[in-house]
Structure 1
Amino acid sequence: MSTIRITKQFTFEAGHALYGYDGKCKNLHGHSYKLFVTVSGVPISDEKNVKYGMVIDFGDLKKIVNEEIVDIFDHATVFNKNTPHLELAQELIDREHHVLLVDYQPTTEMMVIDFAKKIKTRLPENIKLQAIKLQETETSFAEWYASEN
């Protein structure tokens, strides 16, 4: 049987600041992110299986991505844990804001690397993560491809 790729789109809102950056993105700001997750596998051929004909149930993929990414990053403010903005981060936390301190510069490029690692660990053995596209603005996005990593 043929190997098929399927893609599911997700959306979430998040803020961030890029410490040490020499442009506007050094300031705290936010994005309406669009996340596209592409996986591949062979459709289930057992006619008695309730998921017959599916590579993976879109609902199962949704559960993984929501638990690993969307539910964590949605409406969060993301800072590199080494940022000089730790005082600001702590102030936000004290005011019950959702703050994530990550061990990387929270650029779109680094976020897709992080997301790929998280999603790959949760996929069934017969399903392969092929690509992730994270769109930060209408005209700007980063892509991760398994064939290049």
Structure 2
Amino acid sequence: MYGFTIVENLQKMDKDIKQHELKYHKKRVLVSKEFTFDAAHHLHCYEGKCKNLHGHTYKVIFGLSGVPDEIGIVIDFSEIKRIWKEQIEIHLDHRYLNDTLPNMNTTAENMVVWIYEEMEKALINNSNECRVEFVKLYETPTSYAEARREWMINE
């Protein structure tokens, strides 16, 4: 049977641990956060069901990397959420994507690059050398497009 222990001596700053001990290393680390949104679109120059107006519940997964700050954090997960909500999701959630995105065919392949670029722009002034390593955009639970840093830089 599993039990749990009640912590009797909660670790206290400057008594049990010092400020300089909070950062354990200076190595780049990847953190990830995912979001969902619902949107409608249709594809141009396409002969299949997707040429008609239809919708998806999309899932976006961000992989962001950086060097942890003085307390051991690369980027606060709440900051990723803020960027998503204020700068990216407003163009996507419950929208007709053909109207709200730049002129493009609203394929997962085009959209994932746009999402990557928007997150990268939002991180420009971020400390900790934080950058986008990848973005995955699921159009269905089993189908996704991905943009990776090495492809975005070298191509």
- 1:104 alignment counterpart: 104
**Residues 56 and 127, structure 1, Cα contact 8 Å, conserved in 2:** yes
1:28 aligns with 2:53: yes
- 1:88 alignment counterpart: none
**2:89 maps to amino acid:** V
1:144 aligns with 2:147: yes
Over the aligned positions, Cα root-mean-square deviation in angstroms equals: 1.2
Q: SS state of the match for residue 105, structure 2?
A: coil
Q: In the superposition, relative to structure 1, how do residues 101 and 71 fare at CA in structure 2: closer, same or farther (>3 Å)?
A: closer
1:10 aligns with 2:47: no
* C-alpha distance in 2 between matches for 1:68 and 1:134: 17
**Residues 11 and 70, structure 1, Cα contact 8 Å, conserved in 2:** no
Gaps of 5+ in 1: 47-51, 80-98
Gaps of 5+ in 2: 1-25
What is the TM-score of this pair, normalised by structure 2? 0.76
Measured after TM superposition, the shift of residue 101 of structure 1 is 5.2
The structure having more radius of gyration, on CA atoms, is: 2
* C-alpha distance in 1 between matches for 2:32 and 2:121: 18
More strand by share: 1
* C-alpha distance in 1 between matches for 2:50 and 2:102: 17
What is the TM-score of this pair, normalised by structure 1? 0.79
Q: Which runs of 4+ in 1 moved over 3 A?
A: none
Measured after TM superposition, the shift of residue 9 of structure 1 is 0.4
**Residues 132 and 143, structure 1, Cα contact 8 Å, conserved in 2:** yes
Pairs within 5 Å for 1:1-149: 1-44=26-69, 46=70, 52-79=71-98, 99-100=99-100, 102-123=102-123, 124=126, 126-149=129-152
Q: In the superposition, relative to structure 1, how do residues 8 and 101 fare at CA in structure 2: closer, same or farther (>3 Å)?
A: closer
**Residues 34 and 61, structure 2, Cα contact 8 Å, conserved in 1:** yes
Q: SS state of the match for residue 65, structure 1?
A: helix
**Residues 91 and 101, structure 2, Cα contact 8 Å, conserved in 1:** no
Percent identity at matched positions? 39
